[in-house]
Amino acid sequence: MIELGKKFPKDFIWGTATSAYQIEGAAAVDGRGPSIWDTFCQQHGRVFNGDTGDVACDHYHRYQEDVALMADMGVKAYRFSISWSRLLPNGKTDSLNQSGVDFYNNLIDECLKHGITPWVTLYHWDLPDAIEVETDGWLDRRTADLFADYANLCFELFGDRVKNWITLNEPWVVAVLGYGQGVFAPGRQSNSEPYQAAHNLLLAHALAVNVYRNKFLETQKGQIGITNNCDWREPKTHSREDKKAAQIALEFFLGWFADPIYLGDYPQCMRERVGNRLPKFTDEEKALLKHSSDFFGLNHYTTMYAAKQHGSSENLSVFGNGGLSEDQGVQLSVDPEWALTDMQWAVVPWGCSKLLKWIAERYGNPPIYITENGCAYDDTIKEGRVDDEERQNFMALYIEECSNAMSCGVDLRGYFAWSLMDNFEWAMGYSKRFGLHYVDFSTGQRVAKESAKWYSRLIASSNVNTKLGMTA
């Protein structure tokens, strides 16, 4: 493990990540307005066990304790998100909630006091419900403009101290799970709306970056980018057809969001296959999008095989698959030999380095930050101790693959473990534990799992790295 740490340069960013709705709680406290996740959780049968984010980890009241957990671990950076409706209860800048401003000011200051660099995500899926009602959410272009206004406010309020901004977290999830399969808020099912929502999300990102670069960059001197998620897709066989299927799957997954930013438009294969359900960018929008990310934020969890879909299969639904298989003509599967996490996601570390290399090659070797990687296991606490060996193994193997990719020239600059602590895992409620810290949801008590201690030792060992003359 010490050897693993030493493979990373001294200035590599080791962090942990969370998001507002998953940890804050205090949903109706101090003037916060509801988001689409609050209303989604109220709908019967949407979330496992009827769980909600009303209390979650109660981070709103316990943030000092949580920052202290990170300080104890020696993490250098903390990625968290701002709850748009805590700052602006109705989503618009005329509704500023001073308690929300105070909370994020305090959190940011607390991080800085402990030498932890804040990495702030502006949108981690929790659209103010007032906007959803008024504009139809991400199906409406006006939501992109409202997002840019909200982003502008965040830069104004916090940009003197926050130097790392992430506009959106995983727009793929919003589009496909929120508007395609309907399993996440706002719970819609369609085969065209995902493309419309994604389009407006991309524009929202570009508009926010434009505001930052034109109004704030010169004085605040930070960086701003987007975080996308992608699994690796491995061709199931060596056949040309399956190789092509894997490539199509990756372009539909990551290319959908990264091509417009790095290459100027949606992937050719999407334009051909989706046809007029895929909106078009104007020349002006293309220009706004191109080069609109200072870094490549990547959330990566798992890998699947991809093969050409032969004929129409029963498991292809005509509606509500979000373009996942019917538009791609790709059949996905996993190897029965692969170990699975509690999410039933396969543990395939080599998929991580393959994906990093794919990104480097396709997008001209951009600086990459893994803004999420981690795993859920059914952790239990025994005599105050959580022995999560599987999580340590998972992280060690994935981090090793990060180092392998770096030795092939990939410009990877940071790794954020998902998550700092167990939290509200969206439609799975509190049934899945991703944390480095165990949370007892009945008392709110946090306990460092063995993986947190392990991660802390890894960080310490990379700090003393002398390789490549990178010692202090």
CB of 301 to ligand GAL, least distance (A): 7
Cα 64 from Cα 111, distance rounded (Å): 9
3-class secondary structure, 183: coil
Contact 359, 261 (CB under 8 A): no
Q: Which region among 154-162, 169-177, 231-239, 401-409 touches ligand GAL (by CB under 6 A)?
A: 169-177
Cα 439 from Cα 124, distance rounded (Å): 21
> Does residue 170 have an active-site annotation?
yes
CB of 21 to ligand GAL, least distance (A): 9
Please list every residue from 65 through 104 that binds ligand GAL, using CB under 6 A. none
> Does residue 389 have an active-site annotation?
no
Cα 149 from Cα 376, distance rounded (Å): 36
Length of the chain: 472
Cα 75 from Cα 68, distance rounded (Å): 10
Q: Which region among 45-53, 67-75, 168-176, 454-462 touches ligand GAL (by CB under 6 A)?
A: 168-176
| AA identity, residue 91 | G
434 touches ligand GAL by CB under 6 A: yes
Cα 197 from Cα 176, distance rounded (Å): 9
The nearer residue to ligand GAL, 19 or 143, going by C-beta atoms, is: 19
Which residue among 38, 51, 110, 170 contacts ligand GAL (CB under 6 A)? 170
The nearer residue to ligand GAL, 216 or 369, going by C-beta atoms, is: 369
CB of 230 to ligand GAL, least distance (A): 11
Cα dihedral 236, 238, 239, 243 sign = positive
427 touches ligand GAL by CB under 6 A: no
Q: Which two tokens stand for residue 125?
A: 């899926």
Contact 103, 56 (CB under 8 A): no
The nearer residue to ligand GAL, 8 or 184, going by C-beta atoms, is: 184
Cα 377 from Cα 49, distance rounded (Å): 18
Please list every residue from 5 through 34 that binds ligand GAL, using CB under 6 A. 19, 22
Question: How distant, in Å, are the alpha carbons of 325, 330, 383 from that of 240?
Answer: 19, 13, 54
Count of chain residues binding ligand GAL (CB under 6 A): 12
418 touches ligand GAL by CB under 6 A: yes
Q: Which two tokens stand for residue 247?
A: 């490539």
Q: Which region among 96-104, 190-198, 201-209, 418-426 touches ligand GAL (by CB under 6 A)?
A: 418-426
Q: Which two tokens stand for residue 363?
A: 């997008």
Q: Draw the binding track, 370-399, toward ligand GAL (x: CB under 6 A; -: no contact).
A: --x---------------------------
CB of 229 to ligand GAL, least distance (A): 5
Question: How distant, in Å, are the alpha carbons of 35, 179, 314 from that of 38?
Answer: 5, 17, 35
Contact 386, 337 (CB under 8 A): no
Q: Which region among 52-60, 63-71, 149-157, 167-175 touches ligand GAL (by CB under 6 A)?
A: 167-175
Which is the catalytic residue, given 170, 234, 285, 425? 170
The nearer residue to ligand GAL, 20 or 111, going by C-beta atoms, is: 20
Please list every residue from 286 through 315 that binds ligand GAL, using CB under 6 A. 299
| AA identity, residue 330 | V
Q: Give residues in contact with ligand GAL (CB under 6 A).
A: 19, 22, 169-170, 173, 229, 299, 372, 418, 425-426, 434
> Could you list the active site residues?
170, 372
